[in-house]
């Protein structure tokens, strides 16, 4: 099985039956969240939403998934509780299910320590309790970092109410992976048609907005060592980096944005890494490496939402040096997510 490069896939989704059941209840309750079409499709197979056949892949970790990893020479999945995580539940339910999901994740990893690593989930609805669970997840469960699915009740991490979470991640020296979910209430309007509400377009808009809010809001002056990972080839934020930086400095000059110590360009390079999840475009990869450096780009599949074989073929064939490929395939993941090098 040993390939030329160790392959660590860094945005690989799973779920547990208890969370799936709670999401089925969400699917059956009235609501107007932009996540509902997907939640209905995946967890309740409600007519009109198409039956999205992802649930088996999410729940099965040690069977079909491991077999497929073997077949394709994928050494490791860095697992994360799939979107929307626990962020659609009330605070008590969310805290309880986050703890349960983290315990299960740690158990799976303990059975296959060379094949799985994991990002801990937490409930931003209850920031102080979340910070406690984050500590437990790293210190006791030895998980590798954190996953959050963008906004929580349409609020973003530049809001000081979430600072306990950011403080915990920085103090624990663990990266927070901001994965998409359906766009917030203020953002969702025109994104709801034509299937644009999820991975096709809205996911990137949602997480890109979150990342820019954090940088322009001055979050990284308060938490200079905080590391954030964003998937889907950086949700295109680094493609716009020059313009975002230019226009933010203008906004600062006329008093429409807070003065910050660094520029947006500097924050992005210092505080962010990106993954390739779901984007198998050699030109986008080449741009990313040239723009932010091969040390800041990590490989990911986006299992089970994206087929694994093409994601492997894409990276195997990528027109980059072997040294860079080793970084993208595994070295950066080892460094950012504290995974033991082989
Ligand atoms: C899809 C993609 C659905 C992702 C997801 O549900 C997530 C999809 C949480 O393609 O339908 C993803 O992570 O890219
Ligand atoms: Mn994903």
pLDDT at site 53: 85
Closest residue CA from atom 14 of ligand 1? 199
- Distance (angstroms) between ligand 2 centre and the Cα of 298 equals 14
Burial letters for 13-40: b for 16+ Cβ neighbours within 10 Å, e otherwise?
A: bbbbeebbebbbebbeeeeebbbbbbbb
Ligand nearest, relative to CA of residue 57: 1
Closest residue CA from atom 13 of ligand 1? 302
Indicate the pTM of the whole model.
Answer: 0.98
* Residues annotated catalytic, as ranges: 302
Ligand nearest, relative to CA of residue 40: 1
Which of ligand 1's atoms lies nearest the C-alpha of 179? Answer: 13
Backbone angles phi, psi at 293, to 5 degrees: 95, 145
Residues with CB under 6 A from ligand 1: 38, 82-83, 198-199, 278, 302, 305
Mean pLDDT by 10 residues, the chain (342 residues): 87 98 96 94 77 88 97 98 98 98 98 98 98 98 99 98 98 98 98 94 98 98 98 98 98 98 98 98 98 98 97 97 98 98 93
- Distance (angstroms) between ligand 1 centre and the Cα of 281 equals 18
Q: Classify 79 as helix, strand or coil.
A: strand
- Distance (angstroms) between ligand 1 centre and the Cα of 52 equals 10
């Amino acid at each position: 099985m040993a390939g030329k490069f160790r392959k660590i896939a860094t945005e690989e989704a799973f779920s547990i039956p208890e969370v799936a059941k709670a999401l089925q209840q969400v699917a059956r309750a009235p609501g107007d969240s932009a996540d509902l079409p997907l939640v209905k499709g995946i967890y309740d197979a409600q007519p009109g939403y198409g039956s999205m056949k992802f649930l088996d892949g999410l729940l099965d970790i040690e069977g079909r998934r491991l077999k497929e990893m073997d077949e394709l020479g994928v050494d490791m999945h860095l697992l994360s509780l799939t979107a929307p995580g626990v962020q659609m539940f009330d605070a008590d339910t969310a805290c309880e299910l986050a703890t349960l999901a983290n315990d299960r994740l740690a158990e799976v990893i303990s059975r296959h320590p060379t094949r799985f690593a994991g990002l801990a989930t937490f409930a931003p609805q209850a920031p102080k309790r979340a910070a406690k669970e984050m500590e437990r997840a790293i210190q006791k469960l030895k998980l590798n970092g954190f996953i959050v699915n963008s906004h929580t009740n349409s609020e973003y991490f530049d809001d000081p109410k979430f600072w306990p979470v950011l403080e915990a991640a920085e103090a624990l020296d663990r990266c927070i992976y901001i994965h998409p979910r359906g766009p917030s209430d203020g953002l969702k309007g025109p994104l709801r048609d034509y299937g644009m509400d999820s991975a096709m377009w809205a996911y990137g808009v949602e997480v890109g907005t979150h990342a820019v809010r954090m940088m322009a809001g001055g979050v990284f002056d308060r938490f200079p060592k905080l590391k954030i990972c964003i998937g889907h080839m950086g949700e295109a934020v680094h493609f716009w980096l020059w313009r975002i930086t230019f226009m933010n400095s203008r906004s600062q000059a006329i008093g429409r944005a807070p003065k910050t110590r660094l520029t947006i360009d500097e924050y992005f390079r210092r505080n962010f890494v990106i993954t390739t999840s779901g984007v198998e475009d050699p030109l986008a990869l080449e741009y990313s490496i040239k723009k932010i450096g091969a040390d800041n780009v990590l490989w990911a599949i986006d299992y089970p939402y994206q087929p694994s074989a093409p994601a492997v073929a894409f990276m195997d064939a990528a027109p980059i040096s072997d040294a860079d490929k080793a970084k993208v395939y595994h070295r950066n993941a080892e460094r950012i997510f504290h995974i033991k090098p082989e």
